[in-house]
């Protein structure tokens, strides 16, 4: 077991017994137990009753969090012609086509999200092995391969997050900062959980939400009662 510092142990003590709580109560505990000198990110991990090895049980999508994630997002857009202008007007940070492909091949990664128009995917595919492992490859399922460039850029800038279930059946996402306060964090978490519930694969049998936990960057996890999630997500 990893050795824990005094501040972590104190935070664990503040949370108390490992009983599952409602979303607002869990958020309150997580925020109160944060102890870092910086504004910690708040994360949510959801364990799903799916087997992602089967395509019909894959859970992958995106959601625009109502209060954003508390950080500026640098968006790169692969487009040409009129779509370049559209991307610029929407606030994209970097816009281009083949020259950006070459730049990325050379090791440039000063961006957080990538959007591409469908006619640019042939060129973007050449760097798929570079973007893919970093979670940067545009995908139609998450709305980042589209001719509606303006909407895609604005959503990403506003706090759109993408998620994909991992091999162990867990979805892990950031939902804001400690400084947001309980109310805004609850709103963000509710929007995310509502999306997760809506995306339940028909092939998933048995319990779908197996476990949910919330934590800050440095703090301990707080369990959320899965039975109470449906009411909060409505």
- CATH class of segment(s) 6-68+160-233: alpha beta
User: CA-CA distance, 170 to 52, in Å (whole number)?
Assistant: 10
β-strands 94-96, 75-78: how paired? parallel
Q: Specify the 3-state DSSP secondary structure of 197.
A: helix
At 171, which helix (H) or strand (E)? Answer: strand 170-177
Residue 10's pLDDT band (cuts 50, 70, 90): low
Is residue 12 scored above 90 in pLDDT? no
Q: Give pLDDT tens digits for 199-222.
A: 999 988 889 999 999 999 988 889
Return the pLDDT at 141: 85
Note whether 29 and 15 are within 8 A (CB).
yes
Return the pLDDT at 28: 92
Is residue 164 scored above 60 in pLDDT? yes
Residue 181's pLDDT band (cuts 50, 70, 90): very high
Order of strands across the sheet that contains 41-48: 170-177, 41-48, 209-216, 222-224
Instruction: Measure the CA angle with vertex 31, ends 62 and 69; round to 5°.
Output: 30
At 52, list the tokens: 């992602």
Torsion from C-alpha of 196, 67, 184, 36, nearest 10 degrees: 100
Where along the chain do its domains lie? 6-68+160-233, 75-157
Return the pLDDT at 228: 82
Is residue 9 scored above 70 in pLDDT? no
Is residue 129 scored above 80 in pLDDT? yes
| CATH code for the part of the protein at 75-157 | 3.40.50.790
User: Is residue 133 classed exposed, middle or buried when 0-12, 13-18 and 19+ CB atoms within 10 A define those classes?
Assistant: exposed
């Amino acid at each position: 077991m990893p050795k824990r510092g005094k501040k972590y142990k104190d935070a664990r003590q503040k949370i108390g017994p490992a009983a599952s709580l409602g979303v607002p109560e869990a958020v309150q505990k997580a925020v109160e137990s944060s102890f870092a000198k910086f504004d910690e990110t708040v994360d949510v991990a959801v364990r799903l009753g799916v087997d992602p090895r089967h395509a019909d049980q894959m859970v992958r999508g995106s959601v625009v969090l109502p209060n954003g994630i508390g950080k500026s997002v640098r968006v790169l857009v692969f487009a040409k012609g009129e779509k370049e202008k559209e991307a610029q007007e929407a606030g994209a940070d970097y816009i281009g086509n083949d020259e950006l492909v070459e730049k990325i091949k050379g090791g440039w990664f000063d961006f957080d999200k990538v959007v591409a128009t469908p006619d640019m995917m042939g060129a973007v595919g050449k760097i798929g092995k570079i973007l893919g492992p970093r979670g940067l490859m545009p995908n139609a399922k998450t709305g980042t391969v589209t001719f509606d460039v303006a909407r895609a850029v604005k959503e990403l800038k506003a706090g759109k997050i993408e998620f994909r279930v991992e091999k162990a059946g867990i979805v892990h996402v950031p939902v804001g900062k400690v400084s947001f306060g309980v109310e805004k964090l609850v709103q963000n978490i509710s929007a995310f959980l509502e999306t997760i519930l809506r995306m339940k694969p028909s092939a998933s049998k048995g319990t779908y939400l197996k476990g949910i936990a919330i934590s800050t960057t440095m703090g301990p996890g707080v369990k959320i009662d899965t039975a109470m999630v449906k009411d909060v997500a409505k």
